[in-house]
Structure 1
Amino acid sequence: MLLSEIKRKALELSDGLKLLDFGFGLPYTWILAEGPDGKALGVAMTLPEEIQRYRNSIDEPSIEAFIEKADSLNVIERTLGIAAINAVSQYHIDLSGAEWVDVLELLPEDAGRVAMIGNMPPVVRALREKGIKTLVFERNPKLWDRETLSDALEYILLPGAEAVIASGSALVNGTLEMILDRAKNAELIVLTGPTAQLHPELVKGTGITHLAAMNVVNLKRALLGLKLGSFRGFEEGNRKYVVEVR
């Protein structure tokens, strides 16, 4: 299982890190970690449509305790676990070779059919304005428009995609492994968004070619945005980056 392997690798990176603070909330669940070299903030998109009456089994919160739950069937535990993995990843990640660009800049001019996993209207609009054939898949009906496809069709249509841009939320809802399996013909597979803060080593060999995420540059502003439930407030404290998975 992909999440179990990511969890195993993340636990190896968590040594020496302690939990400073955390929150399960909207729009993001977040974990603040600290080590000898400073603090790191990791987030994961909270998916309210997935939440039921779960009871969290974590009695003593810690970085390791949260990471251990990253492959749980309990979506609350899984979301906290992925946020913890992202905190550990952001603590260790080397962004000296990163490109500080938008995800769209990864696509070649002659890009063929692009599959967008998760309806991200600004990205979709920009792709279609360039004349790129774009298939948009979304699980949450509240985010559908007339051209949005149910995520149930990913299994059928992904083999025909030449490039895939997948929201990091695919980690949270447990669909990433299926997406990667069905998108084997794609030359470019990008995991994007705040939930894609993973360390590249955690997804090496999976088929993912790039991670397009956000690095916190103003911790105070980003944390305030998270505590206030603000997309924009959190994102104002960050800078977009792209790293290649080698």
Structure 2
Amino acid sequence: MILQKLAERIIQYADGFEIIDYCSCLRATYVVVKDKRGNKFIGVSHISYENLHNQGAIIKPEINKLQKLVNDINVINRSFGLALINAISQKYIEPKKEYPEIKEPICIIGNMQPLVKEFYGRKFYVFEKSTELRGNAMSDSEEELLVPECKTLFITGVTLLNFTLERILEISNGTNILIGPSAGFIPELAKDLGINYVQSMKFYDIEKIREFLRLGNFISLKINEDLGINYSIQVK
């Protein structure tokens, strides 16, 4: 699974870090880490509500438990694991503007409305796993029929948590762009995994992010540009 591979690959970057804060908030988890010099970084992962259940105990996130977190049956623990990967990554990410050419048809996997609106008037398909968020989007079942046709795919980072990313990449014949705060890992970690671009956000004001999430908000790269710097980096 790709989430497990990211956890394995981030370890070489994790030396000297310690976790100083974490929260499973209403719509997202976050983890705050500190490096040897006292610099602090925050990583975020949205919570996939359609995968919530009461099986398995939720555990305190720790760096030496990262493999256990990302392999746990409880999605809250997997979300903590992804947030921790993203927190460590924040130190090393240098925001870039490496945007791919957008070719049609376009697939948007995850009903990200601010992104969807950008493509009105173009040929695109939207898929959403959650019935609560679906709206006019298709279900994830139709991905099997239409994803192979798409030339550009925007894929929510939440697919890392529910293990649907692997199948999407398997049937994709286009440019695969993993997008969102949950996709905030070092792009090099995704080398040879089928992801072509990573689009996320570099955070600088940790207190602002922490308060924002504690209030029950979620982060949109399109709506919340005041929370950090958006970037798009090609995976090489």
Q: Same fold (TM over 0.5)?
A: yes
Shift of 1:126: 1.6
Aligned to 1:86: 86
- Please state if 1:127 is matched with 2:119: yes
Contact 2:128/2:134, CA 8 A, preserved across alignment:
yes
Contact 2:42/2:86, CA 8 A, preserved across alignment:
yes
Aligned to 1:222: 209
Q: CA RMSD in A?
A: 2.1
- Please state if 1:196 is matched with 2:188: no
- Could you tell me the TM-score, scaled by structure 2's length? 0.90
Shift of 1:136: 0.4
Read off the aligned partner of 1:194 and give its amino acid letter. Answer: P
- Please state if 1:212 is matched with 2:199: yes
Contact 1:45/1:79, CA 8 A, preserved across alignment:
yes
The 3 A distance-change label for structure 1 pair 229 and 67 is farther
Which SS does the other structure have where 2:132 is aligned? helix
Structure 1 stretch displaced more, 112-121 or 36-45? 36-45
1:38-187 equivalences under 5 Å are 38-56=39-57, 58=59, 61-95=61-95, 98-99=96-97, 106-108=100-102, 111-128=103-120, 131-146=121-136, 148-183=137-172, 185-186=173-174
The 3 A distance-change label for structure 1 pair 232 and 7 is closer
The 3 A distance-change label for structure 1 pair 176 and 34 is same
1:83-131 CA-partner distances (Å, limit 9, x unpaired): 1111111122233xx12x8xxx6444xx210110000112112202xx3
Read off the aligned partner of 2:87 and give its amino acid letter. Answer: A
RCO (CA 8 Å, sep 6+): is it higher in 1 or 2?
A: 2
Shift of 1:233: 10
Separation in structure 2 between the aligned mates of residue 212 and residue 170 of structure 1, nearest angstrom: 14
Separation in structure 2 between the aligned mates of residue 195 and residue 75 of structure 1, nearest angstrom: 13
Contact 1:17/1:33, CA 8 A, preserved across alignment:
yes
**Structure 1: 5+ residue runs without aligned partners?**
none
- What count of residue pairs does the alignment treat as equivalent? 232
Contact 1:66/1:77, CA 8 A, preserved across alignment:
no
Contact 2:58/2:76, CA 8 A, preserved across alignment:
no
Which SS does the other structure have where 1:202 is aligned? helix
Shift of 1:237: 2.4
In percent, how many aligned pairs have the same letter? 30
Contact 1:11/1:64, CA 8 A, preserved across alignment:
no
Which SS does the other structure have where 2:43 is aligned? strand
Aligned to 2:22: 22
Separation in structure 2 between the aligned mates of residue 231 and residue 73 of structure 1, nearest angstrom: 23
Read off the aligned partner of 1:133 and give its amino acid letter. Answer: K
Q: Which runs of 4+ in 1 moved over 4 A?
A: none
Separation in structure 1 between the aligned mates of residue 220 and residue 119 of structure 2, nearest angstrom: 26
Aligned to 2:36: 36
The 3 A distance-change label for structure 1 pair 232 and 159 is closer
The 3 A distance-change label for structure 1 pair 194 and 216 is same
- Could you tell me the TM-score, scaled by structure 1's length? 0.87
Which SS does the other structure have where 1:212 is aligned? strand
Separation in structure 2 between the aligned mates of residue 210 and residue 225 of structure 1, nearest angstrom: 27
Separation in structure 2 between the aligned mates of residue 57 and residue 229 of structure 1, nearest angstrom: 19
- Please state if 1:7 is matched with 2:7: yes
